[in-house]
Amino acid sequence: MKIALAQINPVVGDFEYNFSKMRKIIKESLRKGISLLIFPELSLCGYPPEDLLFKPSFIKANRKYINRLSREVRGRMVVIAGFVYQSEERAFNSAGVLSGGKVRDVYSKILLPNYGVFDEKRYFHPGKDITVYVDEDIKIGLTICEDIWGETVVSGLKRENPDLVVNLSASPFYSGKLSLRKSLLAGRAKKMNSFILYCNLAGAQDELIFDGTSMVINPQGKTIIQGRRFSEDLIIFDTQKKYRPVKLRHNTVEDIYRALVLGVKDYVSKNNFEKVVVGVSGGIDSALTLAIAKAALGRENVLGVIMPSQYTSKETLSDAVKVCGNLGVKNCVISINNIYDSFTKELSSFSHFSGFSLAAQNLQARIRGNILMSFSNQEGYLVLNTGNKSEVSVGYCTLYGDMVGGFGVLKDVYKTKVYKLASFINKINRKKVIPQSIIKRPPSAELKPNQKDEDELAPYPLLDKILKLYIEKDECRRDIIKKGFDPKVVRKILSMVDRNEYKRRQSPPGIKITPKSFGKDRRMPITCRFSS
Amino acid sequence: MKIALAQINPVVGDFEYNFSKMRKIIKESLRKGISLLIFPELSLCGYPPEDLLFKPSFIKANRKYINRLSREVRGRMVVIAGFVYQSEERAFNSAGVLSGGKVRDVYSKILLPNYGVFDEKRYFHPGKDITVYVDEDIKIGLTICEDIWGETVVSGLKRENPDLVVNLSASPFYSGKLSLRKSLLAGRAKKMNSFILYCNLAGAQDELIFDGTSMVINPQGKTIIQGRRFSEDLIIFDTQKKYRPVKLRHNTVEDIYRALVLGVKDYVSKNNFEKVVVGVSGGIDSALTLAIAKAALGRENVLGVIMPSQYTSKETLSDAVKVCGNLGVKNCVISINNIYDSFTKELSSFSHFSGFSLAAQNLQARIRGNILMSFSNQEGYLVLNTGNKSEVSVGYCTLYGDMVGGFGVLKDVYKTKVYKLASFINKINRKKVIPQSIIKRPPSAELKPNQKDEDELAPYPLLDKILKLYIEKDECRRDIIKKGFDPKVVRKILSMVDRNEYKRRQSPPGIKITPKSFGKDRRMPITCRFSS
């Protein structure tokens, strides 16, 4: 029996597009003599559809297209595809079992995740019945994503003694998730003494990256086939064949790089943009963002806008020009000095507007934001935001200034990781596209003379360690201090994180690459007087 | 037996503040001979605490403060107060039953809402046990919020035949919610043949307003006591006394007005601001926002900034000045013309920047945004956003322009309702604080010559009807057209709503006054190709 796992990249809500893609793969699989073809979780409508699920017309489209899809399934072939099933006004996260031109059966996800970025209990009712099919004397258990992570469904299936357990998945990427996933699936395979056929989405949707990497795991818990990472793939498993375990190493930094490139590519194209604009400061965040944008979209679709002020050093400006040149990206230089002067002239009569005040610094950042948005509005560029997780965490950024943009490329990337990504890019490009001078210069916002990030915050390696403990581990001040960090520094950083929730609430969406990103992953009140 | 319902206004995460407030009421109740004192749902920590619930230190503070609170409860008095209880690493939305200086029992909410603005299944495990207490021969059933809305807990309690059913609540306001609540509680009282003592929070937390209006309902379903609307109150029910049904009429527009005033007041003060700044255009939205700000904070804490351009008519400018004068609010006038010219001078060499283009219009709005933010950064004003629900729905507003601000006062108020609120304000002030000329002039963004909102969108009464059907009822295009609306107009409006999700994602939080607001109530993907 030949089984295919189709890790596809659907578009949320684009039924016609998703259907056509799936039909093409069904045809290809028919030609290849596939008996069983698996598509990922909710692949027909895209994942996660969020509140589209409350629209009766959206549910109806699911029914229409699963029926259309079933009519493509001919001969003895069976197709299993994720879609939204509705019965008695209740919606289910389901898998349609299609054969002989019909929807033969519907399995519904039993365990609904409602943590992290997931809100499935908001939308779905849980399925009830553990489901096992027998085809060509092979006993196949069916599960959807979370079903295989929890205990109840696995224990139920184990009693049925299946040969293969299929898992339709939409499992969001973060750095380290793959090894977690593999060790979980290995344990499940051994526990059920069964092959596991794990079929994951591949593609990006808003803040989430689905990294593909569908897998076949043998009953000994070894991965014997593995699909591509971060792109579509069709992997074929022949139950008659012998397979040896595969060993594929993944580089953490490369993984993140590919996630970011995919995230930008899909956000831009799925939202019908072609071109992006990046404010290039001569610093490392914008250099990295520019390099990722070029990798995602091609240099012809990227514009660098360089906006020096009186505080921009000659070196920084020259680096900004250089990095555009190295990447082959068009750039233009627009000084903000005259605009800044016209603002201060108008404002100085109304408030005590000093040149080095926070307001004056913010104003410079906002003028730059305005210029970028003018390019967006006038020429149809999407503005990519360049803010990293360290600065977004502590609010070291200007709302409506450097925080403008349709999409935050580095929003979940700590500054220390930004450096690693820059080195990685220089390595894979075999020439230093990001100038060493950018990598070596101490980071500065250059909004007043002699400004250095690390003077105003803390050294980045220290900052990032504290942020991880506070944001991702939910540790309290006392426990962090106990780990040996300077109490003064800890107190300052935690209070900055708490105080800046209002800024993050208005920040562009960005790509999730850590276990807990800002966005649906972390839902803090703005009005809040708790300090841990 | 004398029972008191304390509808209080706690601050999320401010245990010391909430505890002190509750202690004061306990002391007062002891003096008044109260036997049973009820505080609302999660009143000890504030509602909703959102992801603070994942912080072990937050849970720990709940335990510490409920114990401290219990030590305040002396003699024969019983206090029931909402707090977060943890057992075996699981958190519960609970009510502590305090007496004799101890936490005597803990009841945990059985039905956890996970729809609309609620995410309780993200945080809490459901309680299991229906709970009835007997005190002075009176049988008292205990419920928390949703418990009384669903069927299971009510049916369980009915079998116990209680005399009184207490409900600790944190029920967010929207226009029309009170009558829904009343008719539900009346039905529940009759079904259980029991009094219902309904104790609701009073105060605002980010986008939510808790409208107080605690109630005692008799077994015949009649309201016999009712607490204040939109403010703290202590209401006392004596089981020995006879009560007649009360009849209190509520004016829908007044309700909304009071909700908005409370929303502004609490957002500003709970976030440690004192003063706000409003961009006053001479149009009705900013006039209304200014009036609400004055009512919430006093005229001395409100500043109007008037920012005319070459497209601002003399009449509009004079109305802007006039409304500030009528309200006794300080204002300053800053022309944006010079700043605009300095931008166009820099930009014109790089893009085909025409004076009437969308980019040029947006630029004007963004210059105004920058000016307002400069006042905020320099002088510590919170910027109040003036955008209404109609324009936020269709994206008829400029990101980082008129969309700036810390808090959106009218974000959930349709334009047609804006007019009603303006008339209401003129009525209660006994003089026309909002000039008739503002009310009568056709709304215009005044970003190019002869611009009228209704030319670019649709007449507001029509627009608002279509928006309600689409956003609040989730009706599809076809069904809306079937109701007799022009298909072209419907198509245009629905597509504008869909296309502008990215703008709403970066908009300031704002006050919920309808059944479905933008924010936690409506979670749409940005990347989405579904058109219903």
pLDDT for B67-121, tens place per residue?
Answer: 999 999 999 999 999 999 999 999 999 999 999 999 999 999 999 999 999 999 9
The C-alpha of B115 sits at a distance from chain A's nearest C-alpha, in angstroms, of 5
The verdict on a CB contact (< 8 Å) between B374 and A352 is no
Residues 6+ apart with CB under 8 A from B444: B283, B316, B451, B452, B453
The verdict on a CB contact (< 8 Å) between B353 and A524 is no
More confident position, B353 or A390? A390
Mutate to test the interface with B, among A208, A527, A531, A532 (most CBs of B within 10 A): A527
Mutate to test the interface with B, among A207, A474, A530, A531 (most CBs of B within 10 A): A530
CA angle, residues A246, A250, A254, in degrees to nearest 5 = 150
Find, in chain B, the residue whose alpha carbon is nearest to that of A380: B359
Cβ contacts of B12 on chain A, cutoff 8 Å: 525, 527-530
Mutate to test the interface with A, among B209, B306, B370 (most CBs of A within 10 A): B370
Please say if A145 is a catalytic residue. Answer: yes
Give the SS3 label for residue B167: strand
Among the listed residues B41, B207, B446, B475, the single catalytic one is: B41
CA angle, residues B512, B254, B466, in degrees to nearest 5 = 50
Region B495-510 average pLDDT: 97
The verdict on a CB contact (< 8 Å) between B343 and A374 is yes
Q: B88: burial class by Cβ within 10 Å (0-12, 13-18, 19+)?
A: exposed
- Does residue B248 surpass a pLDDT of 90? no
Q: State the pLDDT confidence band at B352, using cuts at 50, 70 and 90.
A: low
User: How far is residue B309's CA from residue B338's CA, in Å, rounded to a whole number?
Assistant: 9
- Tell me how crowded residue B207 is: count the other CB atoms within 10 A of its CB: 26
Cβ contacts of B400 on chain A, cutoff 8 Å: 366, 369-370, 373, 400, 404
Task: State the helix-helix crossing angle for A252-270 and A284-297, rounded to 10 degrees.
Answer: 60
In this structure, what is the dihedral angle of CA atoms A220, A224, A230, A235, given to the nearest 10 degrees? Answer: -130
Backbone angles phi, psi at A482, to 5 degrees: -55, -25
Residue whose C-alpha is closest to residue A256's, from A384, A413, A464: A413
Q: State the pLDDT confidence band at B532, using cuts at 50, 70 and 90.
A: confident
Find, in chain B, the residue whose alpha carbon is nearest to that of A14: B529
Region B470-476 average pLDDT: 97
The verdict on a CB contact (< 8 Å) between B528 and A13 is yes
**Kind of pairing between the strands at A78-87 and A36-38:** parallel
Q: What single-letter amino acid sits at B140?
A: I
User: How far is residue A413's CA from residue B495's CA, in Å, rounded to a whole number?
Assistant: 34
pLDDT of residue A349: 80
DSSP class of residue A127 equals P
Residue in A339, A347, A530 nearest the CB of B52: A530
The C-alpha of A120 sits at a distance from chain B's nearest C-alpha, in angstroms, of 10
Mean pLDDT of chain A: 96
Find, in chain A, the residue whose alpha carbon is nearest to that of B13: A530
- Tell me how crowded residue A446 is: count the other CB atoms within 10 A of its CB: 22
pLDDT of residue A532: 79
User: How far is residue B484's CA from residue B290's CA, in Å, rounded to a whole number?
Assistant: 37
Cβ contacts of B377 on chain A, cutoff 8 Å: 357-359, 362-363
Question: Residue B79's beta-bridge partner residues?
Answer: B37, B98
Cβ contacts of A51 on chain B, cutoff 8 Å: 522-524
Number of Cβ pairs closer than 8 Å across A and B?
Answer: 246
Cβ contacts of B83 on chain A, cutoff 8 Å: none
Question: Residue A210's beta-bridge partner residues?
Answer: A172, A203
Please say if A41 is a catalytic residue. Answer: yes
Residue whose C-alpha is closest to residue A265's, from A227, A230, A304: A230
Find, in chain A, the residue whose alpha carbon is nearest to that of B367: A370
- Chain centroid to Cα A462, Å, comes to 26
Question: Residue B233's beta-bridge partner residues?
Answer: B7
Cβ contacts of B397 on chain A, cutoff 8 Å: none
CATH superfamily, domain B2-250, is Carbon-nitrogen hydrolase (3.60.110.10)
In this structure, what is the dihedral angle of CA atoms B341, B343, B344, B350, given to the nearest 10 degrees? Answer: 160
- Tell me how crowded residue B221 is: count the other CB atoms within 10 A of its CB: 17
Q: How far is CA A479 from CA A282, A483, A490, in A?
A: 38, 7, 10
Query: How confident is chain A (532 residues) per 10-residue block, as mean pLDDT?
Result: 97 98 98 97 98 98 98 95 97 98 98 98 96 90 97 96 98 97 98 98 98 98 97 97 91 97 98 98 98 98 97 96 97 96 89 78 96 94 98 98 98 98 94 94 91 92 98 97 97 97 98 97 97 84
- Tell me how crowded residue A20 is: count the other CB atoms within 10 A of its CB: 11
Domains B2-250 and B256-453 share a fold: no
The verdict on a CB contact (< 8 Å) between B12 and A351 is no
User: How far is residue B78's CA from residue A141's CA, in Å, rounded to a whole number?
Assistant: 55
Region B414-432 average pLDDT: 95
**Residue B366 in tokens:** 């963004």
pLDDT of residue B136: 80
pLDDT of residue B441: 94
Q: What single-letter amino acid sits at B398?
A: T
- Which of left, alpha, beta for A80 (phi over 0: left; psi -120 to 50: alpha)? beta
DSSP class of residue B300 equals G
The C-alpha of B252 sits at a distance from chain A's nearest C-alpha, in angstroms, of 27
Q: Are B405 and B399 in contact (CB under 8 A)?
A: no
| Interface predicted TM-score of the whole assembly (ipTM), two decimals | 0.96
The verdict on a CB contact (< 8 Å) between B334 and A357 is no
The verdict on a CB contact (< 8 Å) between A506 and B502 is no
Residue in B351, B373, B502 nearest the CB of A379: B351
- Does residue B351 surpass a pLDDT of 90? no
Give the SS3 label for residue B299: helix
Find, in chain A, the residue whose alpha carbon is nearest to that of B471: A55
Say how many Å lie between the first and final Cα of chain A, rounded. 57
Backbone angles phi, psi at A136, to 5 degrees: 50, 45
Among the listed residues B21, B120, B145, B265, the single catalytic one is: B145
The C-alpha of A216 sits at a distance from chain B's nearest C-alpha, in angstroms, of 31
The residue count of chain B comes to 532
Region B497-501 average pLDDT: 97
Q: How far is CA A97 from CA A46, A104, A217, in A?
A: 18, 6, 22
- Tell me how crowded residue B522 is: count the other CB atoms within 10 A of its CB: 18
Question: Residue B2's beta-bridge partner residues?
Answer: B238
3-state helix, strand, coil in chain A (%, to 5): 40, 20, 40
Among the listed residues A41, A72, A120, A207, the single catalytic one is: A41
Residues 6+ apart with CB under 8 A from A336: A307, A308, A309, A364, A367, A368, A371, B346
The verdict on a CB contact (< 8 Å) between B505 and A505 is no
User: How far is residue A175's CA from residue B5's CA, in Å, rounded to a whole number?
Assistant: 50
How many Cα atoms are found within 13 Å in the side-chain-facing hemisphere of A419?
Answer: 14
DSSP class of residue A329 equals -
Structural fold of domain A256-453: Rossmann fold (3.40.50)
The C-alpha of A140 sits at a distance from chain B's nearest C-alpha, in angstroms, of 32
Please report, for chain B, the start and end positions of each structural domain, with discontinuous segments joined by +: 2-250, 256-453
Cβ contacts of B58 on chain A, cutoff 8 Å: 530, 532
Residue in A51, A119, A399 nearest the CB of B522: A51
Classify the C-alpha dihedral B479-B482-B484-B486 as positive or negative.
positive
Which residue has tokens 């001569």? Answer: A282
Mean pLDDT of chain B: 96
The verdict on a CB contact (< 8 Å) between A338 and B342 is yes
pTM for the predicted model, two decimal places: 0.96
The C-alpha of A124 sits at a distance from chain B's nearest C-alpha, in angstroms, of 11
Q: Quick: pLDDT tens for A271-320.
A: 999 999 999 999 999 999 999 999 999 999 999 999 999 999 999 999 99
Cβ contacts of B57 on chain A, cutoff 8 Å: 476-478, 532
Strands (E), A371-489: 382-385, 407-408
Residue in B206, B526, B530 nearest the CB of A525: B206
**Residue B464 in tokens:** 């608002």
- Tell me how crowded residue A205 is: count the other CB atoms within 10 A of its CB: 27
